[in-house]
Amino acid sequence: MWPIFHKLGSPPWLYAIAGSILRWLLPITLLALVTGAVWGLLFTQPERIQGNSYRIIYIHVPAAVVALAGYYVMALAGAVSLIWRMKMADVAMKAAAPVGAAFTFIALFTGAIWGKPTWGTWWVWDARITSMLILFFLYLGVVALYEAFDNKEAASKACAVLSLVGMVNIPIIYKSVDWWYALHQGATIKFTGESSIDSSMMYPLLLMIGAFYALFTCCLLLNMRVEILQRESRTQWVKKLATKAGRP
């Protein structure tokens, strides 16, 4: 347990291990994404009410699920960095914020595209969309706070505190937005049943959710590798790496 913990704190080791994980995870991710997308988009039945437009759930739902999970990944990395002062947890947290924000944006964007044919409008202040929007703001807050600091170490710690505060608040925000929506729900927008998803639609969706988790991990690791190189740019091992890669 402890040797691993120490190794995780070592930038060259983490850089190398992230590289070797990516070597097999990246192809698997691409394969799963393509399989899931083709299966979901071409080989499932059109939905009874919405027809073909529902197929966007194969992008929308996985992105939304992973966007939320990403915040917890970021906050937990922040907690590790605050409690054990592990610099590489800083790196993970810093790397997770833009990736999570991107996934949240995908969820919001596909939601808007889906909303147009379904509800006849690009944007509806629905409980889940609103929660997603707030999550997007929370992510951007972390990114903005990080960029505002000159001292990047302090930036990481401040972002760790902020993401932990956000983590405590996310359930509260979700519940309160649900409540708010229940209070104000008008009769104009009716939701299509959410529990009645056919299993033939369900399996590709599950595959896509898995693929999106893998995609998130890939993006996170790639981003972490970049961040490690930037932070360690003055050290010997990075210089050696650069000369080895640049000129044979």
Which positions lie near other proteins, rule CB under 8 A? Answer: 82, 85, 134, 137-138, 140-141, 144-145, 148-151, 153-155, 157-158, 161-162, 164-166, 168-169, 172-173, 176-177, 179-180, 183, 234
CB closer to other proteins out of 42 and 172? 172
CB closer to other proteins out of 45 and 150? 150
CB of 183 to other proteins, least distance (A): 6
> Rg of the chain over CA atoms, in angstroms?
21
User: At which residue do the structure tokens 């988009």 appear?
Assistant: 41
- The span from the CA of 144 to the CA of 151, in Å, is 14
CB of 130 to other proteins, least distance (A): 9
Residue 51 has phi, psi (to 5 degrees) of 70, -135
CB closer to other proteins out of 34 and 161? 161
Please provide the DSSP assignment of 66-111 as one string: HHHHHHHHHHHHHHHHHHH--HHHHHHHHHHHHHHHHHHHHHHHHH
CB of 87 to other proteins, least distance (A): 9
CB closer to other proteins out of 7 and 175? 175
**Residue 80: CA count within 13 A, CB half-sphere:** 18
CB of 113 to other proteins, least distance (A): 24
